[in-house]
Structure 1
Amino acid sequence: MDEHVLKNARRFTGFAGLYDGVRPRMPVYPVEVIRQYLGRKPDRVVDLGCGTGLSTLVWRNRCLEVIGIEPSDDMLAVAQKKEINGIAFRKGSSTSTGLPDKSADAVICSQSFHWMEPRSALSEINRVLRPGGVFATVDCDWPPVSDWRVEKKYKELFDKVLQIEKTEKLVESSFVRWEKTGHLHHIESSGYFRYVREIVFSSREKCDAERLIGLAKSQGGLQSILKVDPGLIEEDLARFMRSVRDVFGETVFDIDFGYRMRIGVK
């Protein structure tokens, strides 16, 4: 397995249960767009970098078969507990899925393509896709829409995370990340796709203070710092947690996840 794949897989070690409990479920909308662009119900869909399977389960009864591919053993172990007829999970990576040539009608990367080296990943995706197949990346904008005061504290917390990632060598060297803003360019410039575009949409879910705190804690950047040197971020995290609890208390409220979907038709 490539070194960048191993680094990024290790980044997601140790908090798969938290991740699975708080992260957003894949909305149905991307599924509908992919089916519309295909012109039919897909036979096989590949969820590449599937994590704990949150983005895989939406395909149940919406294709004949969906396969989640994940390099992290922790994430994969949680995902495999969700296997049912037509939904399977296996270990693999963006450069080595283990799937046959031209075997998938659609490949989707949900919150995962920025952890993949684009050129080699798109080469593997092209190999796996059938002619006329669809590739899509689906990414959240963080934080979700909730309360401006909480969103401001969230931004302050993750500004600090980014600062630490740039200045602390042990943190900086623990991952390799490509900017999400480059996804559309990478898909288009690969030359594999006849049509490429970006689609923006949102999805609403219920939330409470503890889930919102969990969403922040489920971010790989924050987790990496907590593993390497918790003292670098503990006070900032505590301030954020106090703010969330002060604003929301025990209430249940709506949050809106903003999504950006970059899509290519082979």
Structure 2
Amino acid sequence: MDLSLNAERFSGNKYVNLYNRFRPSPPKEILQLSLNYLGKTKAASIIDLGCGTGISTKSWTPYAKKITGIEPSNEMIEIAIDNTNSPNIKYISGYASNIPVPSNNADIVTCSQSFHWMEPKSTLKEVNRVLKKEGVFVLYDIIWPPSVNCEYENAYNELFDNITSITQNINQQISNKWDKKKHLLNIKNSNYFSFIKETFFHKTDILSTEQLIGIALSQGGLEALLKLGFSENEIGLNNFIKKVKKMKITPYKKITYNYRAIFAIK
């Protein structure tokens, strides 16, 4: 299995910078609940798998003495390093199926918007190896699209239904991706954890047309088709942007990111 395809999906200076600009940081309540399960106000060591440009990694700064971001995309790590000033954070190139840190190393291992890009059995084996006894594994994913109004969400779903259809008809493999709906079952079936819980969170930000378009452009599936040479018209991107620009501003001018999170204690 060639997992480098997944790293290549998140490459290109323009795309990586766009991703870093428009992807939200996680709700602090997810981080704080992880520490509640750990039984500490501050972790000694946290590993952030598939850390991307460090958006989630930096969010852990107040909650850990040492944080290590692991990411296979060199371009994403470069952005992460450039945008991180915290002395307790470092970034390492690597894959979750072969985490480049010693065993029994981390109080918390986290995956933000990334576990579906990792082969689950080998990744969970590695998570178990690097986690300390009673350590916490937490993964969290945004449920796309974010909550805005039915006009935007229908336009978003139409765009990505078309992206899915095009992708399924391509006669080449462009990535390896695992079903998010099976995350909980995969974690349970690993038998590495004594406690597992799935729950939900949200984070609300100020709404802007630029953000609504940027969120769509930050999705790897759309970017993969652009890299393969599909036009914005073929993908449906131009039509989506036109609809968003014509959309009426919502009364409360808010965008809400809904998160599905899973906590597992070793």
The match for 1:178 is: 178
Q: From the superposition, tell whether residues 79 and 252 of structure 1 become closer, same or farther in structure 2 (CA, over 3 Å).
A: farther
Aligned positions of 1:97-108 closer than 5 A: 97-108=99-110
- Residue in 2 that maps onto 1:72: 73
Structure 1 counterpart of 2:61? 60
1:112-165 alpha-carbon deviations (Å, 9 max, x no partner)? 000000000001111000000000110000010112111101000000011111
Aligned to 1:95, what secondary structure does the other structure show?
helix
2-structure distance, mates of 1:201, 1:259: 5
**DSSP-derived class of the 2:87 partner:** coil
Q: Which residue of 2 aligns with 1:30?
A: 30
Counterpart for residue 192 of structure 2: 192
Tell me if structure 1 keeps the 8 A contact 2:162–2:235.
no
Q: TM-score scaled to structure 2, two decimals? A: 0.95
Cross-structure match for 2:166: 164
Name the stretch that deviates more: 126-135 or 21-30: 21-30
Asked if the contact 1:5/1:71 (under 8 Å) is kept, the reply is no
User: What CA distance in whole angstroms lies between the structure 2 residues aligned with 1:223 and 1:252?
Assistant: 31
2:227 maps to 227
Structure-1 separation of matches of 2:111 and 2:238: 32
CA deviation map 1:174-209 (0-9, x unaligned): 100000000000111101000111011111112311
Deviations 1:218-253 (A, max 9, x none): 10000001111223754611111011111147x993
Determine if contact 2:147/2:257 at 8 Å carries over to the other structure.
yes
CA distance in 2, matches of 1:144, 1:196: 26
Distance 2:25 2:206 in 1: 11
Which whole-Å CA distance do the structure 2 matches of 1:42 and 1:165 have between them? 41
Q: SS in structure 1 opposite 2:247?
A: helix
C-alpha distance in structure 2 between counterparts of 1:232 and 1:240, whole Å: 10
Q: Give me the whole-angstrom Cα distance separating, in 2, the residues matched to 1:33 and 1:94.
A: 23
Moved more, 127-136 or 240-249: 240-249
- Return the letter of the residue paired with 1:201: F
Residue 4 of structure 1 aligns to which amino acid in structure 2?
Answer: D
Unaligned runs of 5+ residues in structure 1 are none
- Count of residue pairs brought into register by the alignment: 262
Question: Is the alpha carbon distance of 1:60 and 1:228 closer, same or farther for their aligned partners in structure 2, counting shifts above 3 Å?
Answer: same
- TM (normalized to structure 1)? 0.95
Q: Does the C-alpha gap of structure 1 residues 18 and 239 become closer, same or farther in structure 2, counting only changes over 3 Å?
A: same
Q: Which residue in the other structure is 1:5 paired with?
A: 3
CA distance in 1, matches of 2:232, 2:167: 11
Q: Aligned partners of 2:252 and 2:230: how far apart in 1?
A: 30
1:56–1:248 distance in 2 versus 1, CA, 3 Å: farther
Seq. identity, %: 38
CA distance in 2, matches of 1:39, 1:262: 17
Alpha-carbon distance change, 232 to 166 in structure 1, aligned in 2, over 3 angstroms: farther
5+ long unaligned stretches in structure 2: none
Inter-partner Cα distance in structure 1 for 2:195 and 2:235:
47
In structure 2, C-alpha distance between the alignment counterparts of 1:67 and 1:115, rounded to whole Å: 19
User: Is the Cα–Cα contact under 8 Å of residues 233 and 239 in structure 2 kept in the other structure?
Assistant: no
AA aligned opposite 1:159:
D
Deviates more, 1:75-84 or 1:131-140: 75-84
Structure 1: distance between partners of 2:160 and 2:233: 10
- Verify the 8 A CA contact 1:226 1:233 in the aligned structure 2: no
Give the conservation status (yes or no) of the 8 Å contact 2:213–2:241. Answer: yes
CA distance in 1, matches of 2:93, 2:252: 37
Map 1:65-144 to 2 at 5 A. Answer: 65-81=66-82, 82-144=84-146
